[in-house]
């Protein structure tokens, strides 16, 4: 096994490098649907992280027991169990929150982030790493949802987490709370994060080229002198 | 009249993709080409109608009488998965051309949240049998409509000069936002 990755990296990569919402573009349905207010966004991200962590842990423990032909079905059953737990707990403890999130708590079952991490990571790695990976992805998802919902709530209802931030003279942009605003805000954020990543890559590449150019020149001159 | 309202509501006013954000993954993934978009739409509509029927029967005749409502999520997802598998086998036996047209898209439908969302909405809103079926047809029609419109726009977008970072998913999402704005115009219909 060529496992050079530290545990910290397993956790940290989910936050930016493979951020579920911005890099993998997974779990778009809840990302768009529940981000009208920051409160809903945080609740959704925490619920998803809970399901993700526990199902990754269980799947990773059972990865050698599950025959690969029926693995997807088995993963779904494990995930559905935890989603049911979350759904019932939310209904009992936070009835209002559960109502405002509507069918999106049960729909965590088909959230591709969870199945994606189960398939790509938990089925190949040990429990500790799987839990860290799940927590990292959950944190990344939380950051993405908070960013998106903060922008939408700020411009849509002048407040963040219910606290008014913009003055009354600011006319709220109703469109930001509506579905259209979700699509546009997510699209813009995704576009900017792609542009940023692209720029970083270009700069790294240019640096690499600059580093190697003198060596190449020296080499070619050598050849010329040899030929002469 | 009631049924007509359910149909219109599911198809355009509360469009599954543009108002409820269900089924965004195939909406972004499969809307590159018109032909594949319409195949995907057809396959999804087909499964949606079947899901509406089966989940209605399952919920009202098995889960409720035995007090098993808490098993709703796992049972729905398992039923949908086996239903999709079953549909795939039946289509393969009955019609080869249709199987070839829908083939790749059928397995993808299992993880389409629009299908599970449909089943959950039916049990949440207490639709009767006929209403459930109409709701399924309407939701499928709305999904197909959104997917086909998006594919049409994206075929034109290929020619547009989009900034590099915005190509692909970001510009699709922004376009979808504008499309959602247009669909808001239907809101006054009900």
Q: Do residues A158 and A42 lie in contact, with contact meaning Cβ atoms separated by under 8 Å?
A: no
Instruction: Kindly determine whether residue A88 and residue B18, on different chains, have CB atoms separated by under 8 Å.
Output: no
Residue A198 in contact with partner chain B when CB distance is under 8 A: yes
Smallest CA–CA distance, residue A186 to chain B, in Å, is 7
Segment A140-156 shows an average pLDDT of 91
Instruction: Kindly determine whether residue A183 and residue B176, on different chains, have CB atoms separated by under 8 Å.
Output: yes
CB atoms within 10 A of CB B76: 26
Is the residue at B57 inside a domain?
Answer: yes
Which of B71, B113, B174 is the closest to A188 by Cβ?
Answer: B174
Is the residue at B72 inside a domain?
Answer: yes
Residue with tokens 């598998």: B85
Smallest CA–CA distance, residue A129 to chain B, in Å, is 26
Smallest CA–CA distance, residue B94 to chain A, in Å, is 25
Q: Is the confidence at residue B78, as pLDDT, over 60? A: yes
pLDDT digits (tens, 9 = 90+) for B124-165: 888 899 999 999 999 999 999 999 999 999 888 888 888 888
Residue of A nearest to B113 (CA): A110
- 3-class secondary-structure state, position A159: strand
Q: How far apart are CA A142 and CA B50, in angstroms?
A: 35
Q: Is the confidence at residue B73, as pLDDT, over 80? A: yes
Q: Which residue has the higher pLDDT, B168 or A214?
A: B168
Share of chain B above pLDDT 70, in %: 98
Is the residue at B190 inside a domain?
Answer: no
Which of A25, A30, A195 is the closest to B165 by Cβ?
Answer: A195
Which of A73, A115, A187 is the closest to B170 by Cβ?
Answer: A187
> Which residue, among A35, A28, A29, A30, has the nearest Cα to A157 in the 3D structure?
A35
- pLDDT for the residue numbered B163: 86
pLDDT digits (tens, 9 = 90+) for A25-83: 888 888 888 888 898 899 999 999 999 999 999 999 998 888 887 888 888 889 999 99
**Model pTM?**
0.84
Is the residue at B5 inside a domain?
Answer: no
Residue of B nearest to A194 (CA): B165
Instruction: Kindly determine whether residue B177 and residue A180, on different chains, have CB atoms separated by under 8 Å.
Output: yes
Q: Which domain holds residue B170?
A: 10-185
Identify the contact set of chain B against chain A, taking CB-CB distances under 8 A. 18-25, 28, 70-74, 77-78, 81, 111-113, 116-117, 120-121, 124, 163-166, 169-178, 180-181, 184
Q: How far apart are CA B189 and CA B187, in angstroms?
A: 5
Name the band, by pLDDT with cuts 50, 70 and 90, for residue A2.
very low
For residue B117, which residues of chain A lie inside 8 Å, CB to CB? 103, 107
Beta-bridge mates of residue A163: A160
Q: What is the token pair recorded at B36?
A: 């594949």
Name the band, by pLDDT with cuts 50, 70 and 90, for residue B104.
low
Smallest CA–CA distance, residue B3 to chain A, in Å, is 23
For residue A177, which residues of chain B lie inside 8 Å, CB to CB? none
Name the band, by pLDDT with cuts 50, 70 and 90, for residue B168.
confident
For residue A181, which residues of chain B lie inside 8 Å, CB to CB? 177
Counting one residue from chain A and one from chain B, the pairs whose CB atoms sit within 8 A come to: 124
Smallest CA–CA distance, residue B16 to chain A, in Å, is 11
Please give the backbone phi and psi of residue A219, each rounded to the nearest 5 degrees, phi first. Answer: -60, -45
For residue B73, which residues of chain A lie inside 8 Å, CB to CB? 80, 83-84, 87, 106, 109
Q: What is the token pair recorded at A205?
A: 């590449």
Name the band, by pLDDT with cuts 50, 70 and 90, for residue A220.
low
Q: What is the token pair recorded at A106?
A: 């049960």
- pLDDT for the residue numbered A225: 52
> Which residue, among B4, B20, B18, has the nearest Cα to B146 in the 3D structure?
B18
Beta-bridge mates of residue A164: A159
Segment B57-84 shows an average pLDDT of 87
For residue B121, which residues of chain A lie inside 8 Å, CB to CB? 103
For residue A106, which residues of chain B lie inside 8 Å, CB to CB? 72-73, 116, 120
Name the band, by pLDDT with cuts 50, 70 and 90, for residue A3.
low
Domain total in chain B: 1
For residue A180, which residues of chain B lie inside 8 Å, CB to CB? 177-178, 180-181, 184
Residue with tokens 């778009």: A28
Segment A99-115 shows an average pLDDT of 85
Task: List A residues 18-77 in contact with B (Cβ-Cβ < 8 A).
Answer: 25-26, 28-30, 32-33, 73, 76-77
Q: Is the confidence at residue B110, as pLDDT, over 60? A: yes
Which of A81, A178, A187 is the closest to B171 by Cβ?
Answer: A187
Q: Do residues B145 and B15 lie in contact, with contact meaning Cβ atoms separated by under 8 Å?
A: yes
* Alpha-carbon radius of gyration of chain A: 23
């Amino acid at each position: 096994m060529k496992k050079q990755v530290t545990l910290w990296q397993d956790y940290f990569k989910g936050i930016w490098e493979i951020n579920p919402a911005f890099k993998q573009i997974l779990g778009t349905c809840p990302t768009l649907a529940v981000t009208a207010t920051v409160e809903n966004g945080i609740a959704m991200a925490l619920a998803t992280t809970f399901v993700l962590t526990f199902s990754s842990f269980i799947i990773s423990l059972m990865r050698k027991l599950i025959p690969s032909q029926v693995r997807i079905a088995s993963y779904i059953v494990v995930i559905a169990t935890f989603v049911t737990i979350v759904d019932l707990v939310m209904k009992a403890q936070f009835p209002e929150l559960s109502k405002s999130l509507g069918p999106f708590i049960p729909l965590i079952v088909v959230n591709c982030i969870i199945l994606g991490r189960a398939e790509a990571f938990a089925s190949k790695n040990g429990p500790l790493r799987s839990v860290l990976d799940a927590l990292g992805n959950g944190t990344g998802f939380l950051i993405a949802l908070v960013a998106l919902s903060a922008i939408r709530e700020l411009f849509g209802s002048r407040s963040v987490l219910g606290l008014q931030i913009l003055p009354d003279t600011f006319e709220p942009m109703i469109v930001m709370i509506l579905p259209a605003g979700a699509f546009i805000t997510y699209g813009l954020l995704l576009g900017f994060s792609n542009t940023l990543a692209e720029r970083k890559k270009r700069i790294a590449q240019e640096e690499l080229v600059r580093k190697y150019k003198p060596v190449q020149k020296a080499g070619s001159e050598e050849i010329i002198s040899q030929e002469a | 009249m009631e049924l007509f309202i359910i149909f219109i509501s599911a198809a355009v006013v509360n469009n599954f993709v543009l108002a409820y954000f269900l089924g965004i993954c195939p909406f972004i993934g499969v809307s590159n080409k018109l032909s594949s978009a319409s195949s995907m739409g057809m396959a999804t509509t087909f499964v949606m109608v079947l899901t509406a029927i089966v989940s209605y029967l399952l919920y009202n005749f098995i889960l409720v009488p035995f007090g098993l409502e808490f098993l709703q999520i796992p049972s729905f997802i398992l039923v949908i998965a086996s239903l999709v598998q079953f549909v795939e086998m039946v289509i393969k036996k009955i019609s080869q051309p249709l199987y070839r047209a829908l083939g790749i898209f059928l397995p993808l439908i299992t993880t389409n949240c629009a299908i599970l969302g449909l089943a959950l909405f039916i049990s949440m809103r207490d639709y009767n049998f006929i209403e459930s079926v109409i709701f399924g047809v309407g939701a499928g029609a709305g999904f197909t409509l959104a997917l086909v419109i998006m594919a049409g726009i994206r075929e034109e977008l290929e020619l547009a000069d989009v900034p590099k970072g915005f190509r692909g998913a970001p510009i699709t999402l922004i376009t979808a936002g504008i499309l959602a704005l247009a669909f808001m115009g239907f809101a006054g219909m009900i």
